[in-house]
A and B are shown apart, each in its own frame.
Chain A
Amino acid sequence: MKLPAVKFDERPAEMHRRDFMKAGAALATVTLAPGVTLMAFGGDASAEASASKRWGLLVDVNKCAKDCDACVTACSKENGWRLPENPETDAQWIRKVNLTDKDTGREASLPVMCQHCEEPPCVDVCPTGASFKRVDGIVLVDKHICIGCRYCMMACPYKARSFVHEDLTDQKPWAPRGKGTVESCTMCVHRVDAGQKPACVEACAATGNGAIIFGDLRDPESEISKALANYPSTALRADMGLNPGVRYQNL
């Protein structure tokens, strides 16, 4: 039986449908989230990640409550990783770290997740290029080509990455994850692409602490840029010169 030969690049009806979808989506983002979307994110509900943006997070350590782990729970729920039952092998995309100054005894608490470096060591060391940085600064693992060598875990100075040690089922459709590959915080890329904020940011705001700000570091008018411009902040392991997209205040 002879099958019709169709060239891959000549997908019938492809352009028509795609263009319609894109136009529809751009409008939808505007109508569904008026104001918020337009003002917080520069008003451009672009269909693709844009190099004119750099997404970042700013954590105000003073506002982060020691016993609160709303961000961790929200991330776990959003992305479908279980809160650690077996802490040695279970994935932890975000964790709360409690600090005590060795000299002064001052205590602090803050969340640590993938810092979405501008110069990510995990991307440099990945042999297949599975570990990559999107043009808008979000560092991700392409699990389709991750071979599970774990070199990125060795190279990450923040211990931000986890390896999936067991079979998983019922993953969230927007956060695929599976045995034998490495994963980490995606800055809720699926939400960001839909014009929303990461789950941890929303959850932190909902507790009233409001310790995490999300936004475009390249937009001088964004809340995060203004906060960074007006108050001192620091990057974790700033000595390494990785220029992370996640910043901390009052640390």
Chain B
Amino acid sequence: MERTIYREIKVTPQVIQIAVLLGAFILAAAVAVLYIEAHGHIVTGMTNQIVWGLPHVFAVFLIVAASGALNVASIASVFGKTPYKPLSRLSGLLAMSLLAGGLAVLVLDLGRPDRLIVQMTHYNFSSIFTWNILLYSGFFAVVSAYLFVQMARGISARTVKVVGFAAFVWRLALTTGTGSIFGWIMARAAYESAIMAPLFIVMSFSFGLAFFILVLTLSCRLTGRVLGVKLLNRLGRLLGIFAALVLYFTAVQHLTSHYWARDGGIEQFLLFDGGIYTQLFWIGQVLIGGIIPMALVFHPTGGIKPASSIVASVLVILGGFAQVYVIIIGGQAFPLDIFPGYTVSSSFFDGQINTYTPSLPELALGLGGVALAVALTGFGMKILRILPTNLSDVNVGQS
């Protein structure tokens, strides 16, 4: 077993091709932002009923995945699992990149993105949004410090562990904050629940790790660096456990809500009558994002193939996206119950299921955020010594 050596990635024609592709997505997002800002949100699918749309699905997905991507580093430094240690740097870099991508989408969808400076000068501390801004900013600082202590010479293992622990606690706080954006909304039956914070935390474990597996495999393939099959399997099986956790928390969430007669309507809607939302829930989240990936990675013979971890990661991301879509859009599609016991009608869609058709600019903005996150990760690997030269199983070792 040799010492782990980290090296910047080389720019190959393949890397340039991917960079150009990502650049095209980012450019499309920029055009979409200018288009939306010039015409107003009228050109999006968002309305006064569905006030948060596809950009928020992308943004929340990326922000949740960001804190989860840091987990690999936490497993190594906080929980002392040595095989994950060579992956710590990439874990930190990917976490920051995903957060940057998610925040970019969130901020550029604002009604007045030009007023971001206002948000930096006016804080309302009773808003969880405000606290999230501080948590997001702090995340960059803490993870940067974590990367620094890992990469600088002459820093003791103890210091690395302490900073790693700080980053771990911070990321839990961050995801708690993200979940509470929804969990603290008393007005809407689909959200109001303390389980939102822990649910978002397990979602982050799952989505973040899936992203990490894909970025790691892609980077190693592109740069011709060895990635041990056992290491990949290990990550894949961990992903399977996280996917199971997400299913468990989702089940608790819906069972609780279903038990409360008051929320019977929203549960009936999401789980049975909701059309696209019901399909996204059962087929998207539960089947594609939960059961199939678990079957893939835990299969006695198929599970050890490298492809199963990779396919499982792709499925977890798709399923996770469906889950966030159902939470955000589905939760708004169901009408507010202002007059319990009455059937209601008005010119403002009271009592009606709200419809939402995402528009192309929204999709472009969201995909641009994903592209930005991947591009930032790639750029980081290009200028910093992030990726180990050799991740073969012999080299990484077991614990």
State the A residues within 8 Å of B (CB). Answer: 84, 87-92, 95-103, 108, 112, 121, 123-130, 145-151, 153-159, 162-167, 179-182, 236-237, 240
B39 touches A (CB below 8 Å): yes
Rounded to whole angstroms, the CA-CA distance of A137 and B393 in the bound complex is: 67
Contacts of A236 in B (CB 8 A): 338-339
User: Is A88 a contact of B47 with CB atoms below 8 Å?
Assistant: yes
Complex: chain A residue closest to B36, CB-CB: A180
Interface size on B, residues (CB 8 A): 47
Rounded to whole angstroms, the CA-CA distance of A159 and B133 in the bound complex is: 26
Contacts of A180 in B (CB 8 A): 37, 40-41, 110-112
Contacts of B259 in A (CB 8 A): none
Stretch at the interface among B73-81, B89-97, B116-124, B210-218: B116-124
Rounded to whole angstroms, the CA-CA distance of A148 and B7 in the bound complex is: 44
- What 17 new A-B contacts, CB under 8 Å, besides A128-B123, A130-B122, A153-B48? A89-B42, A92-B348, A95-B346, A97-B339, A97-B346, A121-B185, A125-B129, A126-B124, A127-B130, A148-B111, A148-B115, A149-B129, A154-B188, A155-B187, A157-B338, A163-B51, A164-B40
Rounded to whole angstroms, the CA-CA distance of A181 and B37 in the bound complex is: 12
Q: How far is the CB of B60 from chain A (nearest CB, A)?
A: 12
Contacts of B339 in A (CB 8 A): 97, 99, 236
User: Is B128 a contact of A112 with CB atoms below 8 Å?
Assistant: no
Q: Which of A87, A154, A164 has a CB less than 8 Å from the CB of B187?
A: A154
Contacts of B111 in A (CB 8 A): 146-150, 163-164, 179-182
Q: Which of B37, B47, B122, B128 has a CB less than 8 Å from the CB of A129?
A: B122
Complex: chain B residue closest to A100, CB-CB: B343
Contacts of B184 in A (CB 8 A): 125
Rounded to whole angstroms, the CA-CA distance of A95 and B345 in the bound complex is: 10
Rounded to whole angstroms, the CA-CA distance of A121 and B116 in the bound complex is: 22
8 A Cβ contacts from B21-54 to A: 37, 39-42, 47-49, 51-52
Rounded to whole angstroms, the CA-CA distance of A36 and B44 in the bound complex is: 48
Rounded to whole angstroms, the CA-CA distance of A154 and B116 in the bound complex is: 20
User: Is B112 a contact of A165 with CB atoms below 8 Å?
Assistant: no
B8 touches A (CB below 8 Å): no
Would you list the 3 A-B pairs with minimal beta carbon distance, nearest first? A148-B111, A180-B111, A157-B187
User: Is A128 a contact of B112 with CB atoms below 8 Å?
Assistant: no
Q: How far is the CB of A179 from chain B (nearest CB, A)?
A: 5
Contacts of B119 in A (CB 8 A): 127-128, 147
Contacts of B52 in A (CB 8 A): 150, 154
Complex: chain B residue closest to A148, CB-CB: B111
Rounded to whole angstroms, the CA-CA distance of A193 and B181 in the bound complex is: 35
B301 touches A (CB below 8 Å): no
Rounded to whole angstroms, the CA-CA distance of A145 and B343 in the bound complex is: 38
Q: How far is the CB of B233 from chain A (nearest CB, A)?
A: 42
8 A Cβ contacts from B299-356 to A: 332, 336, 338-339, 341-350
B156 touches A (CB below 8 Å): no
User: Is A240 a contact of B186 with CB atoms below 8 Å?
Assistant: yes
User: Is B344 a contact of A153 with CB atoms below 8 Å?
Assistant: no
Selected A-B contacts with CB under 8 Å, 14 pairs: A87-B347, A92-B347, A92-B348, A99-B342, A112-B350, A121-B187, A127-B127, A127-B129, A151-B129, A154-B332, A157-B186, A157-B187, A163-B41, A165-B42
Rounded to whole angstroms, the CA-CA distance of A148 and B40 in the bound complex is: 11
Contacts of B126 in A (CB 8 A): 123-124
Rounded to whole angstroms, the CA-CA distance of A159 and B335 in the bound complex is: 10
User: Is B41 a contact of A165 with CB atoms below 8 Å?
Assistant: yes
Q: How far is the CB of A223 from chain B (nearest CB, A)?
A: 26
User: Is B127 a contact of A163 with CB atoms below 8 Å?
Assistant: no
Contacts of B181 in A (CB 8 A): 151
Contacts of A167 in B (CB 8 A): 39-40
User: Is A159 a contact of B122 with CB atoms below 8 Å?
Assistant: no
Rounded to whole angstroms, the CA-CA distance of A153 and B53 in the bound complex is: 13
User: Is A159 a contact of B336 with CB atoms below 8 Å?
Assistant: yes
Q: How far is the CB of B133 from chain A (nearest CB, A)?
A: 7
Q: Which of B127, B342, B343 has a CB less than 8 Å from the CB of A126?
A: B127
Complex: chain A residue closest to B182, CB-CB: A154
Complex: chain A residue closest to B43, CB-CB: A165
Contacts of B39 in A (CB 8 A): 166-167
8 A Cβ contacts from B266-298 to A: none
Rounded to whole angstroms, the CA-CA distance of A180 and B344 in the bound complex is: 29
